[in-house]
């Protein structure tokens, strides 16, 4: 099934700002995490049914240093210290996909920086089934 996109600039932002000073983002901008541990972006998402979902985070990291983030679902860490490694520059976006368990209906997804560098720049999350983010098999 097709993934549903949630723009970071429309999400709940703690210790970050909406920015447009790099190219290649979707929507009206992206979130520039403040360079501080604990900064986060929280998305409220809808799941049609309970079960495993793929959360694909589109990000840029123009530094040479990983910017890991905890991914929490409904207040509990579901994927600790997910790696957001360097992209070529701040205009180059990559996608990191993580499988999480959602309940049917409304869920919160929070991506929290775990180091003093803060998070990467975050463009959006795409919520789908795991098949949405895997290469087709036959």
* Residue 5, H or E segment: strand 4-7
In the complex, which residues of this chain contact ligand GCU (CB under 6 A)? Answer: 21-22, 32, 35, 63, 90, 118, 121
- Is the Cβ of residue 4 or residue 114 nearer to ligand GCU in the bound state? 114
Name all contacts of 76-83 with Cβ < 8 Å and 24+ positions apart: 80/114, 81/114, 82/57, 82/111
CA pair distance 52, 17, nearest whole angstrom: 30
82 versus 100: smaller Cβ distance to ligand GCU: 82
Structure tokens, 21: 């000073």
Q: Which residue is nearest to ligand GCU (CB)?
A: 32
State the nearest-atom distance from the C-beta of 19 to ligand GCU, in Å.
6
In the complex with ligand GCU, which residue's Cβ is closer, 26 or 63? 63
Q: Check if the beta carbon of residue 95 is closer than 8 Å to that of residue 56.
A: yes
Residue 122 beta carbon to ligand GCU: minimum distance, rounded to whole angstroms: 10
Nearest distance in Å: CB 18, ligand GCU = 11
| CB closer to ligand GCU, 9 vs 32 | 32
β-bridge partners, 53:
100
């Amino acid at each position: 099934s097709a993934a549903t996109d949630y723009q970071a600039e429309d999400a709940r932002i703690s210790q970050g700002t909406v920015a447009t000073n790099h190219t290649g983002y979707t929507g009206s901008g992206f979130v520039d995490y403040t360079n501080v541990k604990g900064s986060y972006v929280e998305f409220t998402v809808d799941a049609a049914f309970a079960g495993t979902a793929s959360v694909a985070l589109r990000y840029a990291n123009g530094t040479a240093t990983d910017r890991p983030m905890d991914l929490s679902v409904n207040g509990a860490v579901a994927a600790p210290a997910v790696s957001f490694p360097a992209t070529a520059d701040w205009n180059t976006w990559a996608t990191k996909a993580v499988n999480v368990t959602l309940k049917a209906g409304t869920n919160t997804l929070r991506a929290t920086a775990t180091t003093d560098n803060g998070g990467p720049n975050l463009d959006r999350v795409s919520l789908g089934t795991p098949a949405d983010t895997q290469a087709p098999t036959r």
